[in-house]
Chain A
Amino acid sequence: MGTAWCGLIFAPHLQLGALQPAPSVGISSALYPTRLEGRSQQGAEVYRSLGCAHCHSQNVRGNVADLSRWGPRRTVSRDYLYDEPPLPGTLRIGPDLSNAGARQPDAAWHLAHLYQPRSKVVKSLMPPYPFLFEVRKIGEAPSPKALRLESPYAPPEGFEVVPKHEAEVLVAYLLDRKKSVALFEAPMPSSLKKEEAGATNAPTGAVAP
């Protein structure tokens, strides 16, 4: 009982607890990681609250399949330094989201996908999140935030679908998911060029919580 506690709790606590941001390797030597900014941090809360981590991992392992799909480099403890809580996930019913922002940087795409995943990915298994949106009558002018949806997912004539604050911050969090900085303990694999970092064979659409 005590030995396992010392080995798997106390010793890692000394090692991981002392972890600090480190200079990234390569073009920029800025410290990595940095804390999530306001909207992204709020989005992380929505991500945690909805239990997105039960379907989506945020951990690129060092094997070829993971690196080529979810790349560009493997994930290490330092990546989660400021995550409260870290959400590496336990299952991949949906795509890994470590680099969701690099793969799909279009916020409008993410919002439409959250509202109705099958509007973007045919036969998607992801549940829709209509409670993150408001379907309302169009006022004097349509809201600039209104989603552009095609039939059969478009709202009735005279109505529009507008994202609530939760949906907006969640998308901000997803767009912030980029592990494009090389670290001493996790360098970019030489087989993957920088320009290929965001171009993986991950499904084009399936990037959402």
Chain B
Amino acid sequence: MSETRPTPESTASVSEAMKSSDASCRDAGLLLFWMAATWAVAGALLGLLSSLKFHGPGMGSGAVLTYGRVYPASNFLLFYGALAQAAIGVMLWLIARLSGRPLASAWMVLPGGLSWNLGVLSGAGAILTGNATGISGFEIPRGPAVMMLAGYCAMALPGLLTLMTRRDKPWYVSECFLLAALFWFPWAFSTAILFIHVFPARGMMLVLVGEWQYSNLSRVWLALIAYAVLFYMVPKLARRPLESGPTAAFTFWLTVFFSSWIAVPPGSPVPAWLQGVSGLAAMVSVAPMLAAVTNLRATCGDQAEAIRSQPGGICFLVSIPCLLVASLLQAGASFRGVADVLGYTFFEMGLHTVFTGGFVGLTVLGAVLFALPRLTGVPWGAESMISMVGKLATGAVVVVGVSLLGAGILQGFAAADVSVPFETALKRGMGPFRLSTLGWLAGVGAAVVVWMQITALGWKVCSVCCIPPLFREMLPAGKAKKAEVAA
């Protein structure tokens, strides 16, 4: 890995290559980011509804809107529809940029994206209509799963082809993360399809496969993409080279080797050696996370204000502490005694929110907000709205994460006391838990605003080239341009 590469802006030719790379990702980026924003709105609304059910359990009492369907559907849409899809778009954009080449066979992203989104749509439909598998982490039936896998392969191939024709011989730090990420998704996802749908395993093996798959996607695949983004964006926005390439390499290798072993929470009804190995891996995995945090903080230095001033900058700044908090909590929760108290409480949901939503989600959102104007060549319509998106998303993650963690700790300690009835233990956590509704409200706000902004941006781009001239002239922008030409 190359440690301190010159920034791409250092030469005019590199700058031209970067513009050409950005332009080649325009259609793919617009499709994936717009669809991701659409699913984020749907997922956040369902998440808000699931949270509201704890204020009034009778709310929306139809079969489709029961909590057991709404909650997993929300999770599925936010994870696969919004986060994973946006992460794929960011991955392709970064690969093209760092390779110094236009995205090869970029047209393949469009059918791939279509297949992915059809999979997401039918998967969410299956969950809401009661056709979920029931396996935590892999709720979707075979058809949607295969559509998503095929869609991913079609989208990832241009990334791989671009990496193979990359201009510079030394590897950027981020490129190594992205190369591994390209292969990680099909590996984990196809394993789940194979063992859950094609040759179904028996008993608890099904649960183990689902948990391993989901853990690998969130802790390795998405984490690799988030690391790649941060190791690229933080030095770029701070205008300083990455503090330590070897430390980034340390983060890479330990993440790849150990994080993929985390799948079995202590106390699961599986052989003890699996819990032991998984717990040990969870503890070791803290090292690469802490190394990344130290590296990024040192790179950031006193340039935090410069980063904050950029679109999406606040997302990068908050995602780093989220990584720190998640790593420490994960280490603590790996101990059997702690897991006995905090297992099966809201704590695990909170930890998941801080890591996947806070670290990965905010990083990817920051990258989307930074990338889209460069892909399209059109600036954001309203800078203040973009700034608001960052603040709302950050607020959503912090409020939901903190309230769930607090609720889990209160609930867990009360439940660990044998003399406390279960209902009382549950009620102790309900106060903080209900606060998470505020976070969901902020999340819905962020999703709606970002959807509107991407739609407006896409409209500006498409109204110039994609809409037939006859219709283009009927639009307000077209009429103004016609009047300008006439004048």
Query: Which residues of A are in contact with B by a Cβ distance under 8 Å?
Result: 1, 3-5, 7-9, 12-13, 15-17, 19, 48-55, 57, 59, 61-65, 68-69, 74-93, 95, 117, 121, 124-131, 201-203, 206, 209
Among the listed B54, B200, B271, B418, which residue makes an inter-chain contact with A12, where contact means beta carbons less than 8 Å apart? Answer: B271
- CB-nearest residue of chain B relative to A51? B68
A206 to B422, CA, bound (A): 9
- CB-nearest residue of chain A relative to B208? A12
- Chain B residues within 8 Å of A13, by CB: 195, 201, 205
- Are B345 and A125 within 8 A (Cβ)? no
- Are B58 and A128 within 8 A (Cβ)? yes
- CB-nearest residue of chain A relative to B64? A131
- Are B209 and A9 within 8 A (Cβ)? yes
A19 to B208, CA, bound (A): 15
Among the listed B71, B72, B212, B421, which residue makes an inter-chain contact with A9, where contact means beta carbons less than 8 Å apart? Answer: B212
- Are B184 and A55 within 8 A (Cβ)? no
- Are B134 and A53 within 8 A (Cβ)? yes
- Chain B residues within 8 Å of A62, by CB: 267
| Interface contacts beyond A17-B202, A88-B268: sample of 6 additional A-B pairs, CB < 8 Å, sorted by A | A9-B191, A54-B68, A74-B269, A80-B269, A92-B344, A127-B67
- Are A89 and B344 within 8 A (Cβ)? yes
Q: How far is the CB of B346 from chain A (nearest CB, A)?
A: 7
- Chain A residues within 8 Å of B349, by CB: 91
Q: List 30 contacting pairs A-B, 8 Å CB cutoff, sorted by A.
A: A5-B260, A7-B261, A8-B212, A8-B261, A9-B212, A12-B270, A13-B205, A16-B204, A17-B202, A48-B132, A49-B132, A54-B67, A54-B68, A54-B72, A59-B267, A61-B343, A63-B267, A63-B416, A65-B416, A69-B418, A69-B422, A77-B271, A78-B203, A85-B134, A86-B203, A86-B207, A124-B57, A129-B61, A129-B66, A130-B61
- Are B208 and A53 within 8 A (Cβ)? no
- Are B344 and A57 within 8 A (Cβ)? yes
Report if A49-B130 is in contact (Cβ < 8 Å); known contacts: A1-B260, A9-B212. Answer: yes
- Chain A residues within 8 Å of B205, by CB: 12-13, 16-17
Say yes or no for B387: interface residue by CB 8 A criterion. no
- Chain B residues within 8 Å of A8, by CB: 208, 212, 261, 263-264, 274, 277-278
Among the listed B67, B195, B263, which residue makes an inter-chain contact with A55, where contact means beta carbons less than 8 Å apart? Answer: B67
- Are B69 and A51 within 8 A (Cβ)? yes
With an 8 Å Cβ cutoff, the count of chain B residues facing the other chain is: 69
- Chain B residues within 8 Å of A19, by CB: 202-203
Q: Which 7 A-B pairs have the closest CB atoms?
A: A51-B68, A49-B130, A4-B260, A48-B134, A61-B267, A92-B344, A127-B57
Chain A residues touching B, majority SS: loop
- Are B66 and A51 within 8 A (Cβ)? yes
Say yes or no for B6: interface residue by CB 8 A criterion. no
A4 to B254, CA, bound (A): 13
- Are B418 and A16 within 8 A (Cβ)? no
Report if A127-B53 is in contact (Cβ < 8 Å); known contacts: A48-B132, A80-B269. Answer: yes
Among the listed B61, B203, B208, B274, which residue makes an inter-chain contact with A83, where contact means beta carbons less than 8 Å apart? Answer: B203
- Chain A residues within 8 Å of B160, by CB: none
- Chain B residues within 8 Å of A87, by CB: 134
A17 to B200, CA, bound (A): 10
Query: Which residues of B are in contact with A by a Cβ distance under 8 Å?
Result: 53-54, 57-59, 61-63, 66-69, 71-72, 127, 130-136, 183-184, 187, 191, 195, 200-209, 212, 216, 256-257, 260-261, 263-264, 267-271, 274, 277-278, 340, 343-346, 348-349, 415-418, 421-423, 426, 430
- CB-nearest residue of chain B relative to A201? B421
Report if A4-B58 is in contact (Cβ < 8 Å); known contacts: A15-B271, A51-B132. Answer: no
Q: How far is the CB of B399 from chain A (nearest CB, A)?
A: 19
- Chain A residues within 8 Å of B343, by CB: 61
A206 to B425, CA, bound (A): 13
Among the listed B69, B260, B423, which residue makes an inter-chain contact with A206, where contact means beta carbons less than 8 Å apart? Answer: B423
- Chain B residues within 8 Å of A78, by CB: 203
- Chain A residues within 8 Å of B63, by CB: 50, 131
A117 to B56, CA, bound (A): 13
- Are B204 and A80 within 8 A (Cβ)? yes
A1 to B186, CA, bound (A): 12
- Are A85 and B72 within 8 A (Cβ)? no
- Chain B residues within 8 Å of A90, by CB: 136, 344, 348
Among the listed B61, B67, B345, which residue makes an inter-chain contact with A131, where contact means beta carbons less than 8 Å apart? Answer: B61
A126 to B256, CA, bound (A): 41
A187 to B269, CA, bound (A): 14
A87 to B204, CA, bound (A): 9
Report if A50-B418 is in contact (Cβ < 8 Å); known contacts: A91-B346, A127-B61. Answer: no
- CB-nearest residue of chain A relative to B138? A85
Report if A49-B131 is in contact (Cβ < 8 Å); known contacts: A59-B268, A85-B206. Answer: yes
- Chain B residues within 8 Å of A117, by CB: 57
A49 to B139, CA, bound (A): 11
- Are B71 and A51 within 8 A (Cβ)? yes
Q: How far is the CB of B409 from chain A (nearest CB, A)?
A: 15
- Chain A residues within 8 Å of B66, by CB: 50-51, 127, 129
- Are B68 and A76 within 8 A (Cβ)? no
